[in-house]
Amino acid sequence: MVNNETLGAIFKALADPTRRSIVERLTKGPLSVDVLSPYYNMSAPAITKHLNVLEQAALIKRVKQSRNVTVYIDPTHFATLETWVATYTKFWNSKLDQLEKHIIK
Amino acid sequence: MVNNETLGAIFKALADPTRRSIVERLTKGPLSVDVLSPYYNMSAPAITKHLNVLEQAALIKRVKQSRNVTVYIDPTHFATLETWVATYTKFWNSKLDQLEKHIIK
DNA sequence: CCGTTAATTAACTTGACGGTTAATTAACGA
DNA sequence: TCGTTAATTAACCGTCAAGTTAATTAACGG
């Protein structure tokens, strides 16, 4: 099973709309912090904090090159998340199957 | 695309370990509140609050029958969640494919 | 060398969250 | 009828999260 603490960090990270938006933008390519800050009408430290949360959940990676920090998406935990969700949808589908059989019978 | 507000409610609801545990237990069958309360060494009002959050995210349903409330899991939003996650894993898989082709070439 | 810029850290404020106890509502049952 | 039980609501408390501004670090460039 998936580590429960890890799972909590992932859900907590994705509960915030700004962070979900950042993740979505990152699928279109890596970004630097100074681009994100004006986009969200938010101070640079606020963005830094959001990135910390995302990084702790291992949903992103930061690479510092001289002064500039580039932010990349990290796919591993999206897979973790998918696995977790899948266990529930599978469960439900099997229930539906049972129900269907029951009705047919 | 999936409603952003709905998505926030779902992630927020699943960010708490007690609520994830409740959801997990509900897959084994419906429950009543008075069973949950002692199990988590938690007051009944605390459980009520957790159920409110889960219900607002439409992850569970409550059915009151005379004095007792039975709690059921509601699968619709697990599907919503799966859809959302899938868009990211799909994105990533396509990136991997591109990378693979690039390496091979 | 010095001013500017990118990013983080520190310190603070505000509001939401997770828990509590006490009070309330409503239904059961001896 | 009246005490008990299931559940929720109300009011409250401590902690954490999300934002701010100010200060700090480090690298760029004229």
Give me Rg for the CA atoms of chain B: 19
B31 close to B70: Cβ distance less than 8 angstroms = yes
**A91 in helix, strand or coil?**
helix
| Percent of chain B clearing pLDDT 90 (strictly above) | 67
* pLDDT value, residue B64: 94
The half-sphere exposure of A75 on its side-chain side, counting CA atoms within 13 A, is 12
Report whether pLDDT(A104) > 80.
no
Enumerate the residues of chain A whose CB falls inside 8 A of the CB of residue B15: 8, 11-12, 15
Alpha-carbon span A28 to B42, nearest angstrom: 44
Is the pTM higher than 0.85? The answer reads yes
Name which of B11, B27, B92 is nearest A11 (Cβ-Cβ): B11
Q: Which residue has the tokens 């950042």?
A: A22
Report whether pLDDT(B88) > 90.
no
In whole numbers, what is the pLDDT of chain B averaged over residues?
89
Task: Write the pLDDT tens digit of every residue in A36-92.
Answer: 999 999 999 999 999 999 999 999 999 999 999 999 999 888 999 999 999 888 877
CB of A87 within 7 Å of some strand C atom? no
A26 close to A72: Cβ distance less than 8 angstroms = yes
Among A residues 86-105, those touching chain B with beta carbons less than 8 Å apart: 86, 88-89, 91-92
| Percent of chain B clearing pLDDT 70 (strictly above) | 89
Name which of A4, A16, A81 is nearest B17 (Cβ-Cβ): A4
Report whether pLDDT(B23) > 90.
yes
Q: Tell which of B56, B76, B85 to mutate to test the A interface (max A CBs under 10 Å).
A: B85
Q: Which nucleotides of C are covered by protein (CB under 7 A)?
A: 5-11, 17-22, 26-28
Backbone angles phi, psi at B43, to 5 degrees: -65, 155
The amino acid present at B56, given as its one-letter code, is: Q
The amino acid present at A9, given as its one-letter code, is: A
Task: Write the pLDDT tens digit of every residue in B30-71.
Answer: 998 889 999 999 999 999 999 999 999 999 999 999 999 999
Helix, strand, coil fractions of chain B, as percent rounded to 5: 70, 15, 20
